[in-house]
Amino acid sequence: DRALRELVAGTSSGAIGVEFLRALVHSVAQAVGSRFAFVGELLPGATCVRTLAVWAGQAFAENFDYELAGTPCEEVVGRELRVFSDRVQSLFPSDHMLRDMGAACYAGISLSDSAGQPLGMLACLDVEPVTSTAIIDSVLPIFAAGAAAEIERMRGEQSLRRSESTYRDLVEQATYGIYQSRIA
């Protein structure tokens, strides 16, 4: 019941863009009972992720870039939901962020665009082991669908802005006049 309330709260606020993603990571952390949650976007080359929203227990944290190699996130991108219920630090000893957070468990799910191409990931971490994955298994895919749709919408909006800017630059830099005529 609590997870469903968080799901509705996180996805029906009317916010878009980064504000939507911030509400989403806060809500997913509340829904699954984790201290940390973040949504990240794959950068070109698909070896690095840039976070777009990070919930860090009591407040939002600054976004950051990180390499996927040697992290549980590497096991998620382009794959199914993965849950490491306990001792995640010992499974990924080169991931210093797990140690810095004191993470005991990790759950992550890949985000894909409407064509099925990987966009990024949504992940939750906590300092206590997970005793049951039922909530994670049922809720994380729903939040992931919302995050993926918003990232894809944001990318489309960015692409449109770039196209408009290019067109505007072409018109402004034209050495000859542009003439519009009506032929009847």
32-54: pLDDT as tens digits: 999 999 999 999 888 999 999 99
91-117: pLDDT as tens digits: 999 999 999 999 999 999 999 999 999
Residue 80's contacts (CB-CB under 8 Å, 6 or more residues apart) are 109, 110
Reading the block at residue 102, the tokens are 């004191």
Across the chain, the runs of DSSP E, i.e. the strands, are 36-42, 48-56, 65-67, 82-84, 105-112, 118-126
State if pTM tops 0.75: yes
152 — pLDDT class (breaks 50, 70, 90): very high
pLDDT score of 145 more than 60: yes
pLDDT of residue 181: 67
